[in-house]
Structure 1
Amino acid sequence: MLLIRLIDLLSPLIAVVAGIYSFKHLDKTLKLIFAYSVAGICVEATNWLIASLGIKTNTPGLHFYIMFEFLLWALFYMHHLKGFINKKYIITAIVLFESYCIVNFLLIQNLFSYPFTRTIENLLLVFFSILLFAKIIVEAKIKKLALTPAVWLNSSVLLYFAGNFFYNIVFVYMLVADRVFLKTTGIYIFGLFNFLYYAGIAIGFFVQRKNSDKKLPARTR
């Protein structure tokens, strides 16, 4: 269990270090994701502290973190899907989702219950990710996918939130009675997805820096 908590803490740290190293080369959308990575390490550190104090659940904070997480990724996709999807649809999705989150924890679910909104968020972000890949394929403007930061981040989103959806459905809802399995195998699987997620974001930051360095004029001797 200690190993998993350490991995969960170090995973966003990888993205934060990469973001600091590449910060001056990041565009506005990548700076949004950098801020998200910083928030991620703060959340993991808080979770560690909560666990060390003997508090068994962090679900009240998760309700609010989901709202923050969806907003930042939705803004990222609103920028990158420009010209392919009218931004009013993404804005509508943001307003409806954030409103539902508020209604959910005020009127539907208790703050100490695992939020149903997590599953909806997973589906929406997977959908946005697929749309971005569709745009890339249709426009065929990118010659080398591996040298495009948005591709790395989009791949991370697709893998992580699709995996998260599977985790929620299988381990949280279907196997909710098997607490031992949920607290062992399920946590290790989620830890793996978490590491790959932030590693993909970190690579995206490094690729952006590399691309920017290539565009800089050579120094005169």
Structure 2
Amino acid sequence: MEFSENLELFKVFKCIHVKYTTGFCGILGIIATIAVFGFGVVIFPWNLYETAVNVTAMTAFACFLVGGVTVHILILHGLYEIRFRSMIPAILYQSFLMCLNAITTLIAIGELVSENELSPRDEKMARIVICVCPTILVIQSLVLISIGKCRLYLQCKRRHIRNGLPPPVREVIIIPTNKVSHMELSVDDSYAVAETMMPN
């Protein structure tokens, strides 16, 4: 397949190029990660739990912040440097978040259909989760498709650039060979040498 920037394979919905959608996802992902981190730290009931629980929660929030920001920075770095391998952490990260959202949605559905009586607050939270998580799951699916297409685009573009460059200059090291001189002896000379070496 000959590389071209305008191939439909490198577009989302056949109209927007993946480098634009993926760049937008990278910037939006950094902003969303910081916003979710701040929101989680503010609403978490720190005063209701012991110090060990609070430390664990803060560690989880910090890992989420560092991991999320790093992954989305790698997306922008991969776009700028044309490195398709920089998209792999983002693909794994989005897949992990999608699994968490799916599990959370299933837990909320299980709470609603169970025979246990829920408090009005828990029932309201379960319904909110069922409404919000699938929506986020759809958005994450679109992001994952965009990143996957962008990885293919960067891989094809990098191969195209590499094939278009002149071949690298190879240095040829010539090792000089010394000529070995041979001393030829005639038959008579060999007999003469043998006679001189014989004892009297």
TM-score, shorter chain, exceeding 0.5: no
TM-score (norm 2): 0.38
TM-score (norm 1): 0.36
Structure number with higher relative contact order (C-alpha < 8 Å, ≥ 6 residues apart): 1
Q: Which of structures 1 and 2 has the bigger CA Rg? A: 2
Relative to its length, the structure with more helix (as a share) is 1
